[in-house]
Amino acid sequence: MKNKKFTSGYVSIIGRPNVGKSTLLNAIIGEKIVITSNKPQTTRNRIQGIHNIPDGQIIFIDTPGIHSCHSRLNKGMVDVAMSAVSGVDLLLLVVEATAPVDAGIIGDVLKGVTPPVVLVINKIDLLPAKQILFETISAWAAQYPFREIIPVSAGSGDGVEHLVETICTYLPEGPQLFPDDILTDMPEKFIVAEMIREKVFRLTRDEVPYSTAVEVESFIERENGVIAIQAAIILERATQKGIVIGKRGDMLKQIGSQARHDIERLLATRVFLELFVKIEENWSERPSKLREYGYE
């Protein structure tokens, strides 16, 4: 019997902020390689996740949420997302099952795109009745000629396997692009910084996360196998410092403890994590700092 042909390709995941794009990618990959939170604009970079399947390989590109923006940082994030709609084999447009059906800014993005577009209706577990899902599917089908419309719950995993099977039908014949044991092409230091930033997002007040960056300043493997990491949490205003450090340093300790847990799972070894806070006034509007922290 002749072996099945090997297929491989690139798939971009696009959508508005906070629709679950990163959660979906983590669910497909089976490991946490992209940070998530319930706050919009958590993802700031174009991040690749690699998923191996029998006789194939899918390279996913997770992108920042597409939104109206004003700051230089947010404009850069949207530029990253917009650049991901071309040069790929398939687009996944992720929307929320519970949100109003309104293509809006996403409809503008899809005008003139050449890759096929699959609509992924996420968070179906939050719908009170199946009938509402049928109505939502019909309403979205009237907005754009999607190749497929697939309902999923990235949080529970419902429908994710069917989505992957559908994606495979759109992949062209091609070689394996990455080794089997690689889940992402992003450097470990980048993912470590993102995991720390995620904890800042999750644990601090709303006014802090949007002006927060994390820079890993040292990453050293000791003789006993422990990896020692020093990282700076970068804020724009001195008034934010007390919020991130907390009373008697409790908030910073909590951020470090939760981040270390995820980092140890990622690196499969013990980690000594030292965090400190640094102030860079208005860094999100300064081109030199945006480049330094990897956002331009």
Please tell me whether residue 1 adopts helix, strand or coil conformation. Answer: coil
Q: pTM above 0.75?
A: no
Q: What angle do CA 259, 220, 62 make, to 5 degrees?
A: 45
Are residues 163 and 133 both part of a single domain?
yes
pLDDT of residue 47: 72
Query: Which of 140, 168, 196 is where one domain is finished?
Result: 168
Residue 265 within any structural domain of the chain = yes
Q: Would you state the pLDDT for residue 70?
A: 47
In the chain, % of residues over pLDDT 90: 43
Q: Looking at residues 89-116, what average pLDDT do you find?
A: 84
* CATH code for position 205: 3.30.300.20
Residue 118 and residue 29 in one domain = yes
Query: Could you tell me if 210 and 161 lie in one domain?
Result: no
14 and 137 fall within a common domain: yes
Asked, for residue 63, whether it belongs to a domain, the answer is yes
18 within domain boundaries: yes
Q: Give pLDDT tens digits for 257-274.
A: 999 999 998 888 999 999
The per-residue pLDDT for range 200-255, each reduced to its tens digit, is: 988 987 767 667 889 999 999 988 889 999 999 999 888 889 999 999 999 999 99
Q: Has residue 113 been placed in a domain?
A: yes
CA dist 195 and 36 (Å) reads: 9
Backbone φ, ψ for residue 288 (5° rounding): -65, -40
Domain boundary, last residue among 112, 136, 168: 168
Residue 197 and residue 105 in one domain: no
- Percent of the chain past pLDDT 70, that is, above it, reads 83
In a domain, 180, yes or no: no
Residue 41 lies in a domain: yes
Instruction: Identify whether 175 is part of a domain.
Output: no
Asked whether residue 133 falls in the same domain as residue 207, the answer is no
20-35 average pLDDT score: 83
Domain boundary among 125, 140, 168: 168
Q: Which 8-state DSSP code applies to residue 226?
A: P
Domain count, the chain: 2
Asked whether residue 239 falls in the same domain as residue 192, the answer is yes
Residue 1 pLDDT level (bands cut at 50, 70, 90)? very low
3-state helix, strand, coil in the chain (%, to 5): 35, 25, 40
Same domain, 18 and 79: yes
- The answer to whether residue 176 sits within a structural domain is no
pLDDT at 65: 63
Annotate 16-53 with b (16+ C-beta within 10 A) or e (fewer): bbbbbbbbbbbbbbeebbbbbbeeebbbbbbbbbbbbe
Domain holding 106: CATH number? Answer: 3.40.50.300
- What digits encode the pLDDT tens for the residues 120-164? 999 999 988 777 899 999 999 988 899 999 999 999 999 999 999
* 235 and 133 share one domain: no
- Position of tokens 């089976």? 30
**Residues 226, 271: one domain?**
yes
Q: What pLDDT does 8 receive?
A: 94
Average pLDDT over residues 266-290: 87
Residue 62 is classified by DSSP as E
Please tell me whether residues 38 and 161 are part of one structural domain: yes
Pair (70, 200) in one structural domain: no
Q: Supply the range of the domain harboring residue 15.
A: 7-168
